[in-house]
Structure 1
Amino acid sequence: MREIVIRINGIECSSCVIRLKNALGALEGVERAEINSVTAQSYIIYNENILSVDDIECCIRKSGYQVPMMTAEIAVSNMYKKQEVQIQDCLKAINGVKEVKCDIENDQVNISYWAVGIRSKDFIDALAGNGLDGTVIEVNGGEEEQIYRERLFHLRLLIESAFLTMPLLWNPSPLIQLLIATLIQLGPGRFFYKGAWKSIRNRNFTMDFLIAVSTTIIYGYSTYIVFTVHDDIQLYFLGDGVLMSIILLGKYLEILEICLREKVR
């Protein structure tokens, strides 16, 4: 049996956890699968003679979620053409390595692998076991980098939503409110529409789907009023913007809490 911890993107609520846990548990060879929605990580015990990391990643992807891909550049001293197959075989033997490319001219090896707890030292040790001397040049796409990018992404959406919602507090003309609300729906709101479309394709109605439906109903109803009612107009574009901003604030605080716990910049 082998144990791995996989970071998974796209887990947002308890229904995501249940759906993915059931999908992983149904795989032949999986002994145990536990998922933490707060850290977005999955702890899996599986039989490596039956399953590979690629099989697990494929199951996660088919369920509507993603495993981050990492890359590493390794310098190999005095590498020549005849060693290419040997280098590829020894590195691909590491569980979780997806692809190995050798750059003979520059004495470098480029490795793509899933974020399943592989360390750069594992590559160096594998090369050393085959009589090769390797040095790590660069590693990209690590867990800390993924969390940091998510934090910046959600912060940008929150700022966009709050900035666009503020003018609605002064109750401008109906057409201007409609224009601002449209920018909110197509700007920050695109995050929820993408999540809703993904949930529809995977037949798994997540929070993104509910948020997209509710904000669209508010937007659609207020738009109808703008063009049909001419006296005592009561619009709800402000409520739409405030609702979206509050939800985005909650998502940002979740990511921020993970950053503080994991000591990510």
Structure 2
Amino acid sequence: MDHEHHDHAVAGRTKLADGKQMTTELTVAGMHCQSCVTLVERTLKKLPGVTDAVVNLATGKATVHHNPKSTSEQDIMDAISKRGYKPARAQDDGPAADEMAPLRRRLFISVIFALPTLILGMGSMLFAAIAPAAAMLLEAIPYPQYLLWLLATPVQFYVAWPFYQGAWMALKNRSANMDTLVALGTSAAYFYSVYLVLTGHAEQ
């Protein structure tokens, strides 16, 4: 066996001196559960010339061992993109950085709408013992069910929109993941609550 081969680090990837094998490292944004990891790994392993592919959910990185003559780094990124995820070269840290700003914004908006929803929906019970006056004030608010509907809607369809996107991509890939579970569960609760409001049962 020839022991003179050495690895050369090249912009987030390692290429063997003989040119037959390359290890490419990418960051992958948009993965939320192990099902996403399994889908990406399965997709990469089906590419020609790929001998192994390992995806780490915690770090959001994919490590792919492949023959660059059969599958290039761009081929790998294109395959991941077709599954609905956002790949970038590991040294760029693009997707991870790009994801943080909208996530912080969605978190901030969710707190703005969810906290009043919690107080309005359960405040009378929470404050009954410690602040009876506040509890009575909350109970005096007219048509609270419509106000709750108004407050919950932005959380359901703006803050939780990434879950719907992930569920749609999973459906297109003929699979299911955590996004599917969250989207179905929250949608069922939301639309059943809307039904109760519109039929007057929420007032009972």
- TM-score band, normalised by shorter chain: 0.7 to 0.9
* Worse-matched range after superposition: 31-40 or 149-158: 149-158
**Which of 149, 167, 170 matches 2:120?**
170
Superposition TM-score, scaled by structure 2 size: 0.72
| Separation of aligned partners in 1, 2:114 and 2:192 | 18
Q: Which residue of 2 aligns with 1:204?
A: 175
Find the aligned partners of 2:150 and 2:46 in 1 and give their Cα distance. Answer: 48
Q: How does 1:86-101 map to 2 (within 5 A)?
A: none
Asked whether the 8 Å contact 2:25–2:61 carries over to 1, the reply is yes
Q: 1:116 offset after TM fit, Å?
A: 5.0
Deviation at 1:19, TM superposition (A): 1.4
Q: Please, what is the CA RMSD of the aligned residues?
A: 1.9
2:180 and 2:159 map into 1 onto residues whose CA distance is: 15
The alpha-carbon deviation at position 157 of structure 1 amounts to: 0.9
> Distance in 2 between the 1:230 and 1:163 partners?
27
Partner residue, 1:157: 106
Shift of 1:232: 5.1
Taking the TM superposition and a 5 Å limit, the aligned residue runs for 1:200-239 are 200-230=171-201, 233=204
User: How is 1:1-265 mapped onto 2 (pairs within 5 angstroms)?
Assistant: 1-68=21-88, 115-117=89-91, 142-143=92-93, 146-168=95-117, 169-171=119-121, 173-230=144-201, 233=204
What TM-score, normalized by structure 1, do the two folds share?
A: 0.57
Superposed CA deviations along residues 173-210 of structure 1, whole A, max 9, x for unmatched, are 11111111122222212222222222222222121121
| Unpaired segments ≥5 residues, structure 2 | 1-20, 122-140
Query: Could you list the runs of 5+ residues in structure 1 that have no partner in the other structure?
Result: 69-114, 118-141, 234-265
Once the two structures are TM-superposed, the CA of residue 7 in structure 1 deviates from its matched residue by 1.0
Percent identity, please. 30
* Matched residue SS, 1:32: strand
